[in-house]
């Protein structure tokens, strides 16, 4: 099963502010939670995507957490689900919702010339610090 992925997107604040409306319009989240701080102007958006394929008895869920500020956007992708029951061949069709959302994020950053950094190194160093205690 896939694990959570975390990215930091850096770029001009005008372009960063286009990210949230774009991802809301281009993808179809089943649930959306928004929080905006009145003091700092930072925001947190939680998108929940669900997809069920009856042919292959699969259920996929993706939680996308987007923390937005004027200087950067932190994106966390947390997929869950998969096949249950019969493990036969998969039906052709659209790629899973995880791939669609991840492709949109990568495409958006490339299209607008933003810098995207994998946040995996920080997670590893935090785990090492906890193990050292």
List, for residues 9-29, the tens digit of each pLDDT value: 999 999 999 999 999 999 889
As a whole number of angstroms, the distance between CA 2 and CA 22 comes to 25
The architecture of the domain spanning 5-132 is 2-Layer Sandwich (3.30)
Q: Which tokens sit at 5?
A: 């992925």
Q: Work out the percent of the chain whose per-residue pLDDT is above 70.
A: 78
The arithmetic mean of pLDDT across residues 68-94, rounded, is 73
Domain ranges within the chain, ordered by starting residue: 5-132
Q: Higher pLDDT residue, 8 or 51?
A: 8
The arithmetic mean of pLDDT across residues 95-119, rounded, is 91
| pLDDT(85) > 60 | no
pTM over 0.75: yes
């Amino acid at each position: 099963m896939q694990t959570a992925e975390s990215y930091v997107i850096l770029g001009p604040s005008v372009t960063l502010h286009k990210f949230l409306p774009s991802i809301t319009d281009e993808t179809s989240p089943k649930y959306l939670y928004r929080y905006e701080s009145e003091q700092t102007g930072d925001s947190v958006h939680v998108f929940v995507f669900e997809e069920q394929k009856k042919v292959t008895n699969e259920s996929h869920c993706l939680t996308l957490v987007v923390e937005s500020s004027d200087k950067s956007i932190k994106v966390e992708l947390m997929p869950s689900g998969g096949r249950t029951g019969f493990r036969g061949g998969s039906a052709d069709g659209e790629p899973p919702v995880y791939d669609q959302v991840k492709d949109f994020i990568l495409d958006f950053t490339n299209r607008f010339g933003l810098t995207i950094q994998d946040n995996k190194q920080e997670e590893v160093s935090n785990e090492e610090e906890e193990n050292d205690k």
